[in-house]
């Protein structure tokens, strides 16, 4: 009974947090007038045909085409980000080399640089390389541990793994790469899952970078096609159609987070405790 007020408070907080999602789903069935006249999420009627219309989009392609485009960006970027961040963090955490402190300071300094500062130089560079309107500018930078936050998280985890593990593995004949793959990576699996989820969600929600680098509608990811649909005008414009597209677009993110929730939260909390 002593914890009852706490449970009530947490339940109320959870209801407040989940209500926008409930409203989004409910609003996908509402008319334009109903959407803007009531904050209640339950619609007067349910018509699933709005999802069929939303799937067709305002272009010659269905949402399935744009899901494929999105995953053509997400999958290689996530793999590149995880592998490169692990390798760079391993080097900083376990090896000594000239100017190590300087390089690590520069890497940490990149975390505080606003992304908008690099937009123009990157656009000019990729355009001159003839790679504008391709997915290369959206995926290739991840191959070079471009996200300093991930490297910092991994370095903290590597430092939390006793060096006795390294010594025992080397006695058994493990080289540096085998030591990383078979000994250290299993120890830091929660943070690797966290990095994977973060990369997936950030890439899924990224709007500015694809907007600048991609000019062909056929190559748009979901974030751009949602905006393109929201810009559609006319007497037959349905607000609920765009909302239904948003609900469909949320499904992969919700599924990934639900599947990795336990290890994701474990990686974040462990990182906070080890720091």
119-143 pLDDT per residue, tens? 889 999 999 999 999 999 999 999 9
Residue 164 lies in a domain: yes
pLDDT at 259 over 60: yes
Lookup: tokens for 139: 């995926």
CA 231 vs CA 49, 156, 190, 227, 244: distances in Å: 21, 44, 40, 6, 15
pLDDT-wise least confident of 140-144, 153-157, 212-216, 258-262: 258-262
Short-list 212, 239, 209, 213, CA closest to 226: 239
Rounded-to-integer distance, Cα 142 and Cα 113, Å = 17
Does residue 218 sit in helix, strand or coil? helix
Provide the pLDDT for residue 213.
93
Provide the pLDDT for residue 267.
54
pLDDT tens column, 145-154:
888 889 998 9
pLDDT tens column, 83-104:
999 999 999 999 988 999 999 9
Residue 59 lies in a domain: no
pLDDT at 76 over 90: yes
Segment 248-264 shows an average pLDDT of 83
Residue 43 lies in a domain: no
Rounded-to-integer distance, Cα 271 and Cα 173, Å = 30
Residue 15 lies in a domain: no
- Split into its structural domains, the chain has a count of 1
Provide the pLDDT for residue 264.
62
Rounded-to-integer distance, Cα 82 and Cα 11, Å = 35
Residue 54 lies in a domain: no
Does residue 150 sit in helix, strand or coil? helix
Query: pTM for this one?
Result: 0.85
- We report the CATH number of the domain holding residue 187 as 1.10.3720.10
**Domain of 112, in residue numbers:** 76-274
Residue 13 lies in a domain: no
């Amino acid at each position: 009974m002593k914890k009852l007020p706490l449970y009530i408070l947490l339940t109320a907080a959870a209801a407040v947090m989940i209500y926008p999602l409930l409203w989004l789903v409910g609003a996908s069935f509402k008319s334009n007038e109903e959407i803007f006249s009531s904050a209640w999420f339950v619609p007067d009627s349910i018509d699933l045909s709005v999802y069929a219309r939303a799937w067709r989009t305002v272009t010659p392609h269905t949402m399935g085409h744009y899901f494929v485009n999105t995953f053509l960006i997400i999958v290689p970027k996530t793999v590149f980000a995880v592998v490169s961040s692990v390798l760079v963090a391993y080097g900083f955490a376990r090896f000594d080399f000239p100017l190590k402190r300087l390089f690590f300071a520069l890497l940490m300094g990149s975390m505080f640089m606003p992304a908008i500062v690099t937009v123009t130089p990157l656009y000019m560079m990729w355009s001159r390389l003839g790679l504008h309107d391709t997915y290369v500018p959206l995926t290739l930078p991840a191959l070079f541990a471009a996200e300093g936050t991930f490297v910092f998280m991994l370095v903290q985890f590597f430092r939390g793994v006793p060096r006795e593990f390294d010594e025992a593995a080397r006695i058994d004949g493990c080289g540096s790469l085998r030591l990383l793959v078979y000994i250290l990576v299993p120890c830091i699996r929660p943070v690797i899952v966290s990095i994977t989820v973060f990369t997936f969600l950030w890439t899924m929600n990224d709007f500015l970078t694809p907007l600048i680098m991609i000019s062909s509608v056929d190559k748009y990811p979901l974030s751009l096609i949602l905006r393109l649909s929201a810009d559609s005008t006319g007497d037959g414009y349905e607000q609920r159609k765009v909302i239904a597209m948003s609900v469909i677009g949320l499904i992969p993110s919700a599924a990934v987070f639900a599947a990795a929730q336990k290890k994701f939260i474990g990686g974040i909390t462990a990182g906070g405790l080890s720091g």
